Amino acid sequence: MARVLITGSAGGLGLNAAKELIRLGHEVVLHARSESRLDDVSGLRDQARGAVSGDLADPAEAIRVAEEAESFGPFDAVIHNAGVYRGPDIFSVNTVAPYVMTAVMGRPRRIVYLSSGMHRSGSTDLATVDWADATGRPGAYSDSKLYVTALAAAVAVRWPDVASNAVDPGWVPTRMGGPGAPDDLELGHATQVWLGLDADNAAGSGGYWFHQQRRKPHPAVGSGAFRAELLDRLEQYTGIGLPE
Question: Contact 146/119 with Cβ under 8 angstroms?
Answer: yes
> Over 80: is that where the pLDDT of 186 sits?
no
Name the pLDDT band for 170 (thresholds 50, 70, 90).
Answer: confident
Give one DSSP letter per residue of 143-188, joined into a string: HHHHHHHHHHHHHHHH-TTSEEEEEE--S-SSTTT-TT--S-HHHH
pLDDT of residue 218: 98
Per-residue pLDDT tens over the stretch 117-160: 999 999 999 999 999 999 999 999 999 999 999 999 999 999 99
> Over 90: is that where the pLDDT of 178 sits?
no
Element spanning 53, H or E: strand 50-53
**What number of CA atoms fall less than 13 Å from residue 182's CA on the CB side?**
0
**Which residues are designated catalytic?**
141, 145
pLDDT of residue 176: 64
- What average pLDDT does the structure give for the chain? 95
Q: At what angle do helices 97-104 and 140-158 cross, to 10 degrees?
A: 20
Ranges of each domain in the chain: 3-238
Per-residue pLDDT tens over the stretch 98-113: 999 999 999 999 999 9
What is the identity of the amino acid at 181?
Answer: A
User: Which residue pairs, CB below 8 angstroms and at least 24 apart, start in 45-50?
Assistant: 47/22, 48/18, 48/22, 49/3
Per-residue pLDDT tens over the stretch 7-61: 999 999 999 999 999 999 999 999 999 999 999 999 999 999 999 999 999 999 9
Cβ within 8 Å of residue 65, ≥6 positions away: 7, 31, 52, 53, 54, 56, 101
pLDDT of residue 187: 79
Q: Answer whether CATH 3.40.50.720 is correct for domain 3-238.
A: yes
Name the pLDDT band for 182 (thresholds 50, 70, 90).
Answer: low
